[in-house]
Structure 1
Amino acid sequence: MSVATAPRACATQMPQTVPALRKRPRLQAEHLEAMGVPRRKEAVSEARRTVRRLLLRWGVGEEEAFRAELFTAELLTNAYCHSRADGRETEIGLCIAEGGGAVLIEVEDPGGAGRPTARRQAEDDAEHGRGLDLVETMGRWGWRTLPDGHLSTWAYVRPAPQEATR
């Protein structure tokens, strides 16, 4: 995958693949950024900080930017740890879209043997397995298989409710 193919992660709605069964939220994007993230562990933290700075520059609220930053780290880490790395795939695609204060983060990778799943019952002493549960409690997430076999995993941050003015 290259930076040139990263925007596919923000392509128009495609059918969900079982067991995800969640349609990716439709977002009237006011801002859109796509990039390739190198398949290096340290690149995840750099991408996370980049997403936060980008969202704050776009005027996204602190809370939404914080959640999007966490979601970005989780999705990229999962892609880094669980996707195939056959030597040709040197980057993971990352797309960030914002509209009306809502944020959609989408990560595209070559896929792997399994599909993303929230564990719900991670062992108390487990070091892994809680990330998508955390995303689930703070937003929504899902995945789909792209026509080329790549995996697209998304997370959605709802905008904070606006306080009524008197």
Structure 2
Amino acid sequence: MEVLGVAACKEDVRQARHTVIELLSRWGKGAEVRMPAELIVSELLTNALQHASPGPGGEIVLQIAEKHGGVFVEVEDGGSQQTPPFTTWTAGLMADAQSEHGRGLFLVDRLSHGNWGLRRHEDGHHSVWAYVPDDAEQGER
């Protein structure tokens, strides 16, 4: 498992995406895993940046691990007083077709084949996780 501290700024989200691609390449993951994982990392970090406060040290924590041939991604932030986007998405309150925002968790859901979720920690932090199966696992469904 790799754990990265990501500063709460757009430039570091971009750098985290590149770091994830390099890591997954080193792990021998093909494009069918790398590309969805990169998009999921980008969406989850961007959501944390826009909707939550950073954790200790002003960072958002990104964890990435190889699991059962696929990739597990988790982003932990310092939590928020506002309703998490996860709650409104699951309640069916997605943005309308004209909105520029509101599709990120829909993409996460599709790219992870519905294998994602939210954890609320006792300290008020939130973690959103997703699992990207490898090509063989996708074929088994």
Structure 2 stretches of 5 or more lacking a match? none
- Within 5 Å, which residues of 2 pair with 1:121-132? 121-132=94-105
Deviation at 1:89, TM superposition (A): 4.5
Structure 1 stretches of 5 or more lacking a match? 1-31
Residue 143 of structure 1 pairs with residue 111 of structure 2: no
Runs (4+) off by over 3 Å: none
Q: TM-score, normalised by structure 1?
A: 0.72
Q: Kindly indicate whether the alpha-carbon contact (under 8 Å) linking 1:116 and 1:143 is maintained by their aligned counterparts in 2.
A: no
Deviation at 1:85, TM superposition (A): 5.2
- Change beyond 3 A, Cα 1:58–1:122: same
Larger Rg: 1
Residue 95 of structure 1 pairs with residue 63 of structure 2: yes
Q: Kindly indicate whether the alpha-carbon contact (under 8 Å) linking 1:105 and 1:155 is maintained by their aligned counterparts in 2.
A: yes
Distance 1:91 1:153 in 2: 15
Distance 1:123 1:68 in 2: 26
- Change beyond 3 A, Cα 1:77–1:95: same
Q: TM-score, normalised by structure 2?
A: 0.84
Equivalent of residue 133 in structure 1, options 98, 106, 118:
106
Identity of aligned residues (%): 47
- Change beyond 3 A, Cα 1:85–1:138: closer
Q: Kindly indicate whether the alpha-carbon contact (under 8 Å) linking 2:54 and 2:60 is maintained by their aligned counterparts in 1.
A: no
Distance 2:63 2:94 in 1: 30
Greater helix share, structure number: 2
- Within 5 Å, which residues of 2 pair with 1:43-58? 43-58=12-27
Distance 1:59 1:85 in 2: 31
Higher relative contact order (CA 8 A, sep 6+): 1
Residue 61 of structure 1 pairs with residue 30 of structure 2: yes
Distance 1:114 1:156 in 2: 24
Corresponding residue for residue 73 of structure 1: 42
What one-letter code is carried by the residue in structure 2 that aligns with 1:145? R
